Amino acid sequence: MVFPFTSIEDFKVELTEEHELFRKAVRQFVEQYLEPVAMEIEKTDRIPDELFEKARELGLFGVGIPEEYGGQGGGHVMEAILMEELSRVSPAFGTAVAVRALFTTPILLFGTEEQKRKYVTPVARGEKFAAHANTEPCCGSDVAAIQTRARRVNDHYIITGRKIFITGSDKADYFVVSARTSPPKEGKRWWGITVFIVERDTPGLKVGQRFNVMGLRGERPHEVILDEVKVPAENVVGKVDEGFKVIVTTYDHTRVGIAAQGVGIAQGAFEKALNYALQRQAFERPIIAFEGVAFKIADMLTMLEAARLLTYWAATLADRGDRRFIIAASMAKTFATEVAEKIANMAIKIHGGVGVDMETGVERYLRDAIITTIYEGTNDIQRATIVRQLLRDVFGVKLSLA
């Protein structure tokens, strides 16, 4: 009945009063500070500095980070709540806040105590921004294929390469950077990659062009160029040559947040569609009175709640330390982001002509939703991960999908 899981107990979604109080606090921040400037962000393609300052005052950058390192505590569920509530109104701002997890997660999981205190603490307090530089022109989902190089010279490394589509890099004070330090071993393409912490003011590091992607206006990615960048050996995160594990494990943990972003987008688009369907009159009746619209609303709500349950279940498994959260996170990311795309598309159709007018703020949900199906591992990569984990966990079979 529950295959490939073992018990119906595995499907618990553990939410507490503390989670609800936190959600209400974030909702208050969103309604008071974020919602009034959401369309300004969309039009100017810039997030006001004052918004980041308010988020810092509320400790939003520290959610999910242990208090001993300057954070607010909480786990994956708390982070999912934060991402959903922010993305309901501004997926771009949700991304701007959440991207710090791509920097802090690998250090918290694999870094030294000194690295955690030196780099995680100021990021958790909102005093510094950080980014994660892995994707390259040659490769995104294929982490093992990266071409950036790092060579050891005495007590430091020299890194040279180019990273693209790096979210938050225009503001980042610190970067997590992947580079190849050794050639791969036979049968182990992943071997030979190392992860480094690089500070922005390091000579040779340059944040280059902005990529004018279709969505996430206000938080669009840039390229990061590394030209003979000198990094101390003490800035290696994890083991030398085993950085592939650092990168993919990081994505396992942060993927739940992208699922939550999909839920937030879907929620925002659904609310707009429902409100419009109640207010818009056609043939002397609100359009929700017509089955063509009413059934869309019903389908949207059904998909939305299914995506939410799947996402918070994955987050619960992660908080419990259940390794099966990896397959759950991939399922949640795939389903929730595709639901977000579908619901956003349906919301546009319910709005009719005004749905494609940028002034109404509806079509932006579709543009943002499509991006969520691509970053943090495309949904086809998630499907490959689901099958690999299924075969590994149930049958002990290791399968490489082409």
Active-site annotation holds for 376 = yes
Tokens for 184, please give them: 């791969």
> Right CATH number for 245-395 from 1.20.140.10, 1.20.1510.10, 2.60.120.620, 2.40.110.10?
1.20.140.10
What CATH class has 8-124?
mainly alpha
| The domain made up of 130-241 is a member of CATH 2.40.110.10 | yes
Question: What pLDDT, in 10s, does the model give residues 268-305?
Answer: 999 999 999 999 999 999 999 999 999 999 999 999 99
Beta bridge partners, 180, equal 149, 193
Is pLDDT above 90 for 396?
no
Question: What pLDDT, in 10s, does the model give residues 104-145?
Answer: 999 999 999 999 999 999 999 999 999 999 999 988 778 889
Q: Which of 93-102, 185-194, 252-261 is predicted with the least confidence, judged by mean pLDDT?
A: 185-194
Over pLDDT 90: what percentage of the chain? Answer: 89
Cβ burial, residue 14 (10 Å; 0-12/13-18/19+): middle
Give CA angle at 150 (211, 247), nearest 5°.
Answer: 60
Q: How far is residue 301's CA from residue 162's CA, in Å, rounded to a whole number?
A: 43
The pLDDT of residue 3 is: 83
Is pLDDT above 60 for 48?
yes
What are the structural domain ranges in the chain?
Answer: 8-124, 130-241, 245-395
142 vs 62, residue with greater confidence:
62
The pLDDT of residue 2 is: 78
Distances (CA, A) of 103 to 28, 42, 147, 168, 378: 27, 26, 20, 11, 20
**235 in the Ramachandran plot: left (φ > 0), alpha (ψ -120 to 50) or beta?**
alpha
Question: What pLDDT, in 10s, does the model give residues 168-202?
Answer: 999 999 999 999 999 998 888 889 999 999 999 99
Q: What is the mean pLDDT of residues 2-8?
A: 86
Q: Which of 43-57, 226-240, 383-397 is predicted with the least confidence, judged by mean pLDDT?
A: 383-397
Is pLDDT above 80 for 400?
no
The pLDDT of residue 174 is: 98
**C-beta of residue 184 within 8 angstroms of C-beta of residue 192:** yes
pTM for the model: 0.95
Band the pLDDT of 401: cuts 50, 70, 90.
Answer: low
Tokens for 283, please give them: 């043939």
Beta bridge partners, 281, equal 286
